[in-house]
Amino acid sequence: MKNKYRFHLLGLSHVPVSEKYMGCAFTQKILKLSKMLLSLDHEVFLYGSEGSDAPCTKFFQTHTLKDIRNVWGEGDNRYDLGYDWKTKGFKHDFNVPKTKTTLKYYSEAIRLINSHKKDDDFLLITQGSYQKSIDVGVELHLTCEPGIGYRGSYSKFRAFESSYLQNFTYGSDHPRQSINGNYYDRVIPNYFDPKDFQFNAKKKDYYLYVGRMIVRKGVMTAVKATKEIGAKLILAGQESESIPKDDHCDFIGYVDPEKRAKLMGEAKAVFVPTTYLEAFGGVAVEAMLCGTPVITTNFGVFPETVKHGVSGFRCDTLNDFVKAARDVECLDYYQVRRHAERYLMDNVKLEFNKWFNDLYRLYISTIDKGSKGWHFVEKDTD
């Protein structure tokens, strides 16, 4: 069985796949996935907008920056997208009728993939049902979703970012039923480039919140907890519903990757008190990779990613958050970093590679009656 594969990796319709757009989690996941696959000597064919510069075997442009500006732009020539995404967030058509630009992206991706696909290629869906029409137009058996941190997954083979989201999805797909799992679904967490998050054991006298300024991200919990102990709170991120105006808070807006890593590394702790059920909550892992403890809620993904009393604290009440803010200085910053290293790209890519090997073996068993899929057992080499 071969162990080097060809991947058709779907980019985005509303933004190029580039480190330039660090604020878009989808973009960064696609870019880093391509890096990991290339490092394993696979071929990666990337499909997306002009301006995409992610490393890949070959890039196929499906639409232009002008197409994006025509639909979402506001005439702001300072930005390739035609609007100030650093303060307003990214515009898209995920939950509304699809724009001409997205329909062009669909049709061009289908045409380009069909022009050079092979039967045993992988098609990597990166936005679930939003990209299903490309799947239907391409019809590759090895179609899968490798980074499900969203609602709306559908494919036969799915890798979820957390056990929480896997089980939530199964339950949502089959409410109030006794259901079975799927051997070929996996839990493979989000992944991080070590160059982006340097360890720092020297902390300064402030706490940090990084994210959207919305109630459901728990920003006011961070504000209230730090106010109780008379501590400074720095707020970084794109503007959304409202920005807290308390005297102890300092809102600094969007920060680039270098500034973000510096802020995280020097903070006493990073608050990630999301009140909705977070699928992964990458900010928590980013902070821990910098050696900085995190203060989170106690549901969703956080019981999987945050080791209570070691890499941070998981909290239920305001008193818990206040106590955690006081106690973080007692944690070992080196232990915090070591806990988070499990999420580095060089570790996570091996989990992906095993999954792709298992899926390919299953595929071979469907076309070769002499090959085993799930029943395959390696020979003992001892």
Q: pLDDT by residue (tens digit) across 309-326?
A: 999 999 999 999 999 999
User: How confident is the model at residue 238, as a pLDDT?
Assistant: 75
Determine the pLDDT at residue 240.
62
Residue 9, number of CB atoms within 10 A of its CB: 25
pLDDT > 90: percent of the chain: 89
Q: Please name the helix (run of DSSP H) or strand (run of DSSP E) that holds residue 165, with its range, or none.
A: helix 163-173
Q: What is the mean pLDDT of the chain?
A: 95
Report pLDDT digits (tens) over 199-231. 999 999 999 999 988 889 999 999 999 999 999
| CATH code of the domain made up of 194-342 | 3.40.50.2000
Q: Kindly indicate the confidence band of residue 359, based on its pLDDT and cuts at 50, 70 and 90.
A: very high
Mean pLDDT for 332-341 is 98
Rounded to an integer, what distance in angstroms lies between the CA atom of residue 313 and that of residue 48? 40
Letter string b/e over residues 313-339, b meaning 16 or more CB atoms within 10 A of that residue's CB: bbbeeeebbbbbbeebeebebeebbeb
> Coil, helix or strand for 60?
strand
User: What pLDDT score was predicted for residue 241?
Assistant: 61
Predicted local confidence at residue 87, as pLDDT: 82
Contact 365, 371 (CB under 8 A): yes
List of E strands, 2-88: 6-10, 43-49, 58-63
How far apart are the C-alpha atoms of 99 and 353, rounded to whole Å?
35
Stronger pLDDT, 328 or 380, i.e. the higher one:
328
Q: Which is nearest to 345 in space by CA: 160, 198, 147, 193? A: 193
Predicted pLDDT at 18: 96
Query: What's the confidence (pLDDT) of residue 243?
Result: 77
Is residue 23's pLDDT more than 90? Answer: no
Task: Quote the pLDDT of residue 80.
Answer: 95
- Report the pLDDT value the prediction gives residue 212, as an integer from 0 to 100: 86
Residue 36 has pLDDT above 90, yes or no: yes
Q: How is domain 6-191+345-367 classified at the architecture level of CATH? A: 3-Layer(aba) Sandwich (3.40)
Residue-range domain boundaries for the chain: 6-191+345-367, 194-342
What per-residue confidence (pLDDT) applies to 1?
63
- Per-residue pLDDT, averaged over 68-89, amounts to 92
First-residue to last-residue Cα distance in the chain: 21
CA distance 7 to 362: 17
- Whole-number pLDDT of residue 256: 86
User: Tens of pLDDT along 178-198?
Assistant: 999 999 999 999 999 999 999
Mean pLDDT, residues 2-16: 95
382 confidence band (pLDDT: 50, 70, 90) = low
Q: Quick check: 235 pLDDT over 80?
A: yes
Is there a common fold for 6-191+345-367 and 194-342? Answer: yes
pLDDT tens-digit series, residues 278-319: 999 999 999 999 999 999 999 999 999 999 999 999 999 999
Which residue carries 């999987």 as its tokens?
304
